[in-house]
Amino acid sequence: MQYHIEGMDCASCIGKIETALARMPGVSDVQLNFATGSLTLSLSPEGATQAGDVEKTIKRLGFGISARNNQQTPSHSDTDNPPTVQRWWQTRKGKQVAGLGMLMAAAYVLALFFPAYGTWLFAAAVVVGVLPFARKAFALGMSGSPFSIETLMSVAALGALFIGEAEEAAAVVFLFSIGELLESVAADRARAGIRALASLVPKTAVLLDAQGGQREVAAASLRVNDRVLVRPGDRVSADGVIIHGSSSLDESPVTGESIPCAKTTGDTVFAGSINVDGVLEVRVEKTAADNTIARIIQLVEQAQVSKAPTARFIERFSRYYTPAVMALAALVVILPPLIMGGDWAIWLYRGLALLLIACPCALVLSTPAAIASGLAAGTRRGLLIKGGSALETIGQVKTIAFDKTGTLTEGKPRVTDVVAFAQPFTKQSDEEVLALFASVESGSNHPLAKAIVGHAEAANLLIPVASNAYATAGKAVHATVAGRALAIGSPVYAAQVATLSSTQQSQIEALQRDGKTVSVLFDEQSHEALGLVALRDEPRADAQAAVAQLKTMGVRSVMLTGDNHRTAQAIAGYLGVEWEAELLPEDKLRLINEMKLNAKIAMVGDGINDAPALATADVGIAMGGGTDVAIETADAALLKNSVTDVAHLVALSRATMANIHQNVIFALGLKGVFLITTVLGITGLWFAVLADTGATALVTLNALRLLRFKGKRNNNHS
């Protein structure tokens, strides 16, 4: 069963609903997400509980409930039928606060002229205001949650009314109602992030038929291999591949990258991206329920359901904390009058104030509010984090192990040097050699061959037509170009079949020391070496800066690669990282397990060949570009494929943990101060409510600060 729950204002609401459902026979697998308001549970067919009983129970607790279509994913049922978003003054709680406010104002005015009647109006305000809370407290008590804030507030307000403090009791109810309204507004703001994410995918798409005709259809109805038209200014309606056209696309909704990305035939596009200028024809590769935005929403929802270790500890702590403070309040009421002959009314008043201070709302909210804000801030930057546990752990890592290929480097070879051996050494001769290289390699699918041909095409060179092309496995490729029998091979093979001078050998060795792969072009008839091309999988543009940022944060970087020592040393020397080379997958696992003995370690890889290492590390981080493997393999995925995002991830985790610690200090500190001042008689019910409401507001506002997280600052502080 899938439901949408309305009216949850703080994380403690989850415990109330879960406790009530756990007492119902035949109900199991209850999962409630505070951030999205989604509830899933299993009902036993033979059980006494029916779907209607579940709905009645939740409504009795004071929450709204509506069933979801089981055929839809949670994220898409929200997208297709979004809940109505009301302004705060249009909500039930907003109207209650406004009504109580007017009643309080009238009571104050009446009390100025007719004090006796004013007291009765204050009493009426108490009864009207406390009735919804008392009803909810009774329902919660019957459902297994007797120590709720509603119970504490109802007892305190009615107790104050009983001892003749009608004005103060009315203020308690009014202030508490304002606090509930503030929590509701803050909770709705936290949920707005996911609603905004879901709204990024357009509702309609322009479908192309086999004859080229166009018709507008619902985006949710698109199927794999459908062809859709994306006009300038349109949002892409589905994940797919461009089959015709080229354009710039703003992918910031998906990757967080604000600069439009050039795309052409054969390139992948994401649902929700904005087409800037060209007209595109796109073949759909994923349905609406499986596109990138849907997967991001599902990931965020799952992450928010997953409780962080700190949150679990605080929930356990609050279960004992609330009854303990209630017992303390009872002792405050009973002991001083019995032992010291104190006034019963005074100590009853102080005990009632203690009940309000006992409210654990701010404490329980301190962690999930910060975690939810941290996850949302990360998602906006293209940092997908699978749950509060991963978010907590990332900031604690002392060592980050990086895979080389595709992580610290681009993952594809690029031509770095073209050298013509023929005299004179002119630019023209270099271009001629490159054209001959491209001609011989034009029939090969090898990555190095593709890089050489692509480099020549980018330079707008005229590539001669080759004939009689063939390859000698592991040695060379051969072809006839303009009547000459040419071959391209490794320096070792070229030295065996052609003449290389000492100068040419020195040039080759110098390039190899820089970690470059060298190919030599030679004439098979004259045995003359004509030139060389050097290629290297170049470091990502931001890799060096990322390593430097991590170093300032006290995080050690280590490069683990299966590549040869010479290449690894060249790349690591440029980036300034420690390194281990020529590693098999089991070697990487061994090294990670060894490093885990001393401190927490994160592994950053491409999410495919590094899956075992990602799983073994304390935190696995995938350089994903939004791929399925990247999102599903690791604890976090970096959608922008930016190495500096690793530093941003550590900074976000540390900022979130600092926020949680601040929230706990706010919550416990305020309660501790007012606990003492209330027992001493310095503060009363007013301040008790302000302590609770103030702590909740401070915790919520402090957590919302994380939404403004911009990333790691370029200074020496984390």
Length of the chain equals: 718
**Catalytic residue flag (residue 610):** no
And the tokens for 518? 């060298």
Distance CA 618, CA 689 (A): 42
Starting at the edge strand found earlier in the chain, the sheet holding 274-275 runs 261-263, 247-250, 274-275
* Radius of gyration of the CA atoms of the chain, in A: 34
Distance CA 557, CA 548 (A): 9
Residue whose tokens read 């906006």: 380
SS (H, E, C) 566-601: HHHHHHHHHHCCEEECCCCHHHHHHHHHHHHCCCCE
Contact 674, 691 (CB under 8 A): yes
According to DSSP, residue 90 is labeled G
Distance CA 265, CA 149 (A): 60
And the tokens for 103? 């009643």
- According to DSSP, the residues that pair with 470 across neighbouring strands are 478
Catalytic residue among 250, 403, 430, 606: 403
Q: How many CB atoms lie within 10 A of CB 360?
A: 26
Q: How many CB atoms lie within 10 A of CB 264?
A: 12
Phi, psi of 65 (to 5 degrees): -145, 140
Distance CA 314, CA 301 (A): 21
468-481 as b/e, with b when 16 or more CB fall inside 10 Å? ebebeeeebbbbbb
- Residue 184: its H or E element: helix 166-198
Distance CA 310, CA 710 (A): 24
Phi, psi of 322 (to 5 degrees): -65, -50
Phi, psi of 646 (to 5 degrees): -65, -45
And the tokens for 550? 């991590």
Query: Would you list the DSSP string of 269-314?
Result: E-TT-EE-SS-EEEEE-S-GGGSHHHHHHHHHHHHHHS--HHHHHH
Catalytic residue set: 403
